Amino acid sequence: MPLALASGLDALAALAHLACIVLGAPAYRVMGAGERMARAAQAGRWPPTLITLAIAAGLFVMAFYAGAAAAQRPPLPWQRMLLLTFAAVLLIRAMAFPWLKPMFPDNSARFWWVSSGICMVMALAHGWGAWRLY
């Protein structure tokens, strides 16, 4: 159950990132990514797209691994290590926002609180699921 939840949350987060690419600057603004990122997307620059694609790809990999483990398929390569790594990375991201915030001054306070809360829930789902699996 927790890994199924983790997989679903990962996939939703990946789709939200892809929506930013498709919808452009307004979506980056709504998601709280910062005016600099939104302006770069509006100007047709590549960095927002590449950064957002990289994040979405990572989230889809996480969804795949968590989903495969939830379905109790034969273990994927490095499944245990990766599930625990996903949980650790998400937990660090959730808790590190006070130190990350000054590095990204354009990101809104809403972005930091909402994204950090989502990361915390995702970290707990991955960690709990990996713990129950092993």
| pLDDT, tens digit, 9 for 90 and up, residues 25-76 | 999 998 888 889 999 999 999 999 999 999 999 999 999 999 999 998 888 9
Token pair belonging to 72: 């109790």
Alpha-carbon gap, residue 73 to 69, rounded angstroms: 6
What pTM did the predictor assign? 0.90
Amino acid at 88: A
The pLDDT, as a whole number, for residue 33 is 86
Compute CA distances 105 → 33, 35, 52, whole Å. Answer: 10, 10, 18
Domain count across the chain: 1
Q: What range does the domain containing 99 cover?
A: 2-133
